[in-house]
Amino acid sequence: MVFCWPAVPARRSVVFEAYRLPEEHEAVREAVREVCAAKVAPHAAEADETGEFPRRGYDALRAADFHAPHIPVEYGGAGADALATAIVIEEVARACASTALIPAGNKLGTMPLLLAGSEELKRRYLTPVAAGEAMFSYCLSEPEAGSDAASMTTRAVRDGDHWVLNGVKRWITNAGVSEYYTVFAVTDPTARSRGISAFVVEKSDPGVSFGAPEKKLGIKGSPTREVYLDNVRIPADRIIGEPGTGFATAMRTLDHTRVTIAAQAVGIAQGALDYAKGYVQERQQFGKPVAEFQGVQFMLADMGMKLEAARQLTYTAAGKSERGDADLTYFGAAAKCFASDAAMDITTDAVQLLGGYGYTRDYPVERMMRDAKITQIYEGTNQVQRIVMARQLLKD
C-alpha cells in the first residue's frame, strides 16, 4: 500500500487541541502501524539473529513512502513535518528498532543538506533518497573523536576544482548500504571547530571503503561500520555550505535529529510495554493472572507513566524542531535523554515481568532491552545531553 499524505498546510506549525494530535497525524500513525504489523514486525527477530540489513522492511517502508518522509515535496518527498516524521519512526521502532534507523538515518544524513546545502546539491541528492533509490548516512565520529567531535582528524584539502579527503569515520549507521554520506572534515587545522567543513561523498567515489560490521549488543539489523577515505577526490561543489561552517551545521543537525532518537526510544518502549501487558494478563500463577498482583500493577503503572511523559516531551520537541524555535537545543537534548532513559527502564521492567521467559530469545522483550541501550549512547551520550541542557539553562 502507498499512504496518501495530506496536503501540507500553508503554515507549517504543529497545532495541538487540548493536547490531542491532529487527525492527520493520527492517520499517519495508523497507516505506519498497519504496514509494520504486516511487513516489519514479522522479520524483526530474524534481523536481530542474522545481523543483516532488513531489506524486506526497507522495501515495505519505501512502497508506502515511509522511508524518508521528512524530505520536502519540492524534491519528490512526502513533505512530512517533524512531528509526523517522529511518529513514523516511533511506530517503526515499536515493531523493529533496526528498521526504524532507515527513516531516522535518512533524516540524519540529509539534514545538513536541508539546513545548509545549495539548491543544486539538494536536488541532486535529496531526490533519489525521496524516490527510495538511495539512503544517506552521517559521518561525524572518529576513533579518537566521539563526544569531542571537534578533535576530528579527517582532512579535506582543496586541489583546484576538487577536494581531497583522507581519514576514518567510525560508528556510521547503515554504512555500506547507503549510497551517500555526509562527511565532516578539517579544512583549516588552525581553527578547531571553525575549521571543519561538510561534504557529500558517494559510495562509488574512488578511495571509499568500509570496515567489517561491528558486533553489537543491539540494533543488529542496522549495519554499523567504519568508513575509510583514502585520497577521495570529489568535485568542489559537493561542499555543504561555506568552508568552516561544517561543525555548526553538525550541531544544528543534532538539535533536530535527537528528536528522532527520542521517537525511536518511545517506540521501543511502547513495543515492550504492549508485549508485557499481554503476557501478564495471560500468565497464571497461584491460580490467577499475574496482572492481578499489586506489585505487577505498580510496575505497569510506572512503565506507562514514564512512557507517556517521554512521548509528550518528544512531541513537544518535534514541534519546536518544525518551527525552529530558539530553545530547540534544550528540548531536543531533553527529549532524547529522558525518552532513552525511560526506554531502558521500561524494557528492563518488561524483561522482569516475563521472568525467566523474558531472558530468552523466544520472547521479544530481551531484544527490545538490548535495542533500547543504544538510544542512551548515540547522537550524544545522555551525559553529554545533560551538559547541553545545563548550559542552555545557565545561558537563559
Per-residue model confidence as pLDDT tens digits over 356-387: 999 999 999 999 999 999 999 999 999 999 99
Phi, psi (rounded to 5 degrees) for 169 = -115, 140
The answer to whether 261 and 334 are in contact (CB under 8 A) is no
pLDDT in tens, 76-118: 999 999 999 999 999 999 999 999 999 999 999 999 999 999 9
* Count of alpha carbons within 13 angstroms of residue 107, beta-carbon side: 35
Instruction: Give 29's pLDDT tier (boundaries 50, 70, 90).
Output: very high
- Confidence (pLDDT) at 5: 73
Q: Where is average pLDDT lowest: 16-25, 170-179, 317-326? A: 16-25
Rounded to two decimals, the pTM is: 0.95
In this structure, what C-alpha cell is assigned to residue 115? 539546513
Catalytic residue among 142, 322, 366, 379: 379
CB 186 within 8 A of CB 154: yes
Mean pLDDT of 141-166: 97
Q: What radius of gyration do the chain's Cα atoms show?
A: 21
Mean pLDDT of 58-73: 98
Domains parsed from the chain with CATH numbers: 23-130 (1.10.540.10), 136-246 (2.40.110.10), 247-395 (1.20.140.10)
Residue 172 DSSP code = E
Of the pLDDT bands very low, low, confident and very high (cuts 50, 70, 90), residue 18 is: very low
Looking at the chain, list the stretches that DSSP marks H as alpha helix, in order from N- to C-terminal side: 23-39, 44-50, 55-64, 82-95, 97-116, 119-130, 246-282, 294-323, 328-354, 365-374, 382-395
Please check the confidence at residue 19 and state whether its pLDDT lies above 90. no
pLDDT of residue 152: 98
| CB 240, CB 221: distance < 8 Å | no
Q: How far is 44 from 17, CA to CA, in rounded Å?
A: 35
Name residue, grid cell 532513552.
340
Could you tell me which residues come within 8 angstroms of residue 81 by beta carbon, excluding any fewer than 6 positions away? 8, 12, 14, 318, 322
The three-state secondary structure class of 288 is strand
Q: What confidence tier does 9 reach under pLDDT thresholds 50, 70, 90? A: low
Task: Clarify whether 282 is annotated catalytic.
Answer: no
CA distance 291 to 345: 19
Average pLDDT over residues 60-67: 98
User: What is the distance in angstroms between the CA of the first residue and the CA of the last residue of the chain?
Assistant: 47
70 touches 82 (CB < 8 A): yes
Q: Is the dihedral of CA 36, 38, 44, 45 positive or negative?
A: positive
Percentage above 70 pLDDT, the chain: 96
Render the burial of 242-276: b for 16+ CB within 10 Å, e for the rest: ebbbbbbbbbbbbbbbbbbbbbbbbbbbbbbbebb
Position 284 confidence tier, pLDDT thresholds 50, 70, 90: very high
Per-residue pLDDT at 16: 46
The per-residue pLDDT for 175 is 98
Q: Give the per-residue pLDDT at 7.
A: 63
d(CA 167, CA 201): 13
Tell me the pLDDT band of 74, cut-offs 50, 70 and 90. Answer: very high
Give the span between the Cα atoms of 315 and 313, in whole angstroms. 6
Tell me what the mean pLDDT of segment 183-201 comes to.
Answer: 97
How far apart, in whole angstroms, are the C-alpha atoms of residue 228 and residue 139? 11
Place of cell 496482572: 291
Residues 6+ apart with CB under 8 A from 155: 165, 166, 167, 185, 186, 187, 189
**Contact assessment for residue 331 and residue 322, using Cβ atoms and an 8 Å cutoff:** no
The mean pLDDT of the chain is 96
Q: How far apart are CA 136 and CA 180, in angstroms?
A: 5
State residue 134 phi and psi, 5-degree precision.
Answer: -160, 160
If DSSP codes are grouped into helix, strand and coil, which group holds residue 183?
strand
- Greatest alpha-carbon span in the chain: 79
Calculate mean pLDDT across residues 162-176. Answer: 98
Q: Higher-confidence residue: 4 or 95?
A: 95
Query: Quick one: pLDDT band at residue 2, thresholds 50, 70, 90?
Result: confident
User: How much is the pLDDT for 17?
Assistant: 46
| pLDDT tens per residue across span 228-241 | 999 999 999 999 99
